[in-house]
A and B are shown apart, each in its own frame.
Chain A
Amino acid sequence: SYELTQPPSVSVSPRQTASITCSGDKLGDKFACWYQQKPGQSPVLVIYQDNKRPSGIPERFSGSNSGNTATLTISGTQTMDEADYYCQAWDSSTVVFGGGTKLTVL
C-alpha cells in the first residue's frame, strides 16, 4: 500500500518561513493536498492540487510537489499557524494521509 511520510515535528520562529515535507514514491506524479488541524477542531484544507489555496486561506500558505516530495511552505509564520498539518494524496482508488507534522511556533 502507498505511504506518505512526514516529519513528526517542525519548529519555526515567528515571522520566519516554515517548510513541512511529505514524501512518497513518485508523489510528484500525483496531486497532493494539505490540511491544518488545531486542537479540538476539524481539519481545514489549506492547499489542494499541489499549490492551490482555497478561498479564505492566507497567501502565506503555499505548496509544491516534485519528484518524491511535496512541501507545504508558510511564509511569515504567525503564532496562529501553530497546528498539526497533514498531507494527503490519492493512490489506487484509496485516500492516503501522511502521519502528520506538529508545527510549533516559538
Chain B
Amino acid sequence: HLQLQESGPGLVKPSETLSLTCTVSRGSISSTGFFWGWIRQPPGKGLEWIGSIHYTGSTYYNPSLKSRVTISVDTSKNQFSLQLSSVTAADTAVYYCARLNIPPGNYYFDYWGQGTLVTASS
C-alpha cells in the first residue's frame, strides 16, 4: 500500500516560513491520475485544504491561502513540499499530506500521511 510521511520543523516563529516535505513510498509520485495535496487541521477544529500539485508541476491552491502558499514537487526524490510564508498563531495545526485521486469531476483523498503538528510560536 502507498505510504506518505510528513517531515519538517515542529516549531516555527511568527512571521517566518513554514516548510514541510511529504515523502511518498511504495508508489510513484509520477503516476498518472493523481494530484498530491496538503490539508491542515487546527487543534480541535475541522479540515482545511491548502493546495494540491501534479507531478508535472500543475497546482491548485485554496484561494484564502494562495498569497502565502507554494507547493512544489521533486519527482527524483518522490517528494512534494509545502511552504507557507508569514505564519501567525492561526497557522498552528496538524498538517497532513495526502494523495488526491482525480477521476473527472470526482476528486477525493484516498491515502493520507500520519500528520505532523506545527506550532507557530516565539
Contact = CB atoms under 8 A, between A and B. Distances in A.
Contact of A43 (B37, B103, B112): B112
A94 B60 contact: yes
A31 B100 CA distance: 14
Nearest to B60: A93
A75 B109 CA distance: 24
Interface residues of B, number: 25
B105 A86 contact: no
Contacts of A100: 46-47
Given A31-B105, A49-B103, A94-B62, A42 B96 contact: yes
B92 interface: no
A95 B52 contact: yes
Interface in A27-82: 30-31, 33, 35, 37, 42-45, 48-49, 54
A86 B49 contact: no
Interface residues of A, number: 24
A31 B49 contact: no
B109 A35 contact: yes
Nearest to A96: B49
A106 B26 CA distance: 40
Question: Chain A binding site: helix, strand, loop or mixed by DSSP?
Answer: strand
Interface string B32-68: 0000010100000011110010000000101110000
A95 B108 CA distance: 9
Contacts of B52: 95
Contact of B46 (A31, A54, A93, A97): A97
A95 B37 contact: yes
A37 B115 CA distance: 12
Contacts of A99: 46
A90 B113 contact: no
Most A CB within 10 A of own CB, among B37, B49, B52: B49
A75 to B, nearest CB: 22
Interface in B74-122: 96, 100-101, 103, 105-110, 112-115
